[in-house]
Amino acid sequence: MNCAVVQGYGLIEAGPVTHLPLPGEPLPAGSIGVALCNTECRMVDVENDRDLGPNESGELWVRSPSVMHGYLNAPEATVETITEDG
C-alpha cells in the first residue's frame, strides 16, 4: 500500500486523535507527538488551574473543533469536565 502507519494519541471525546508524530521523525519515549492543526493543549495542575512545565505531572487539557461540546443529557458532568472557554 506504500503508506506509513503511525501511532497517535487521542481520546473518544476528541474524535479520536489529537496528537501525531512528525512525518519521518522517530517519536521520543514518553512523547505523544505534536498537536494536530487547530488543536490547542495545556498540561495543567487541576488543583489550582496552573499551567505546568516540562517534567511536571498533571492533566492534559485539549481544545479543538473535534472535541465534544458536552455530555448528552448530562449538564452537570459537562460543567465538571469542560472549562468555560472550551
Answer whether the bond into residue 54 is a cis peptide, omega within 30°.
no
- Does the global pTM surpass 0.85? no
**What letter does residue 16 receive in the DSSP assignment?**
S
Domain boundaries, the chain: 9-22+31-81
pLDDT digits (tens, 9 = 90+) for 6-57: 888 998 988 889 999 998 888 888 889 999 999 999 999 999 989 999 889 9
Asked whether the predicted pLDDT for residue 4 surpasses 80, the reply is no
Residue range 67-76: mean pLDDT, rounded: 94
Asked whether the predicted pLDDT for residue 74 surpasses 90, the reply is yes
Beta strands 17-20 and 9-10 are antiparallel
Which CATH number does 9-22+31-81 carry?
A: 2.30.38.10
Strand ranges inside the chain, DSSP E: 9-10, 17-20, 34-35, 40-45, 50-51, 59-63
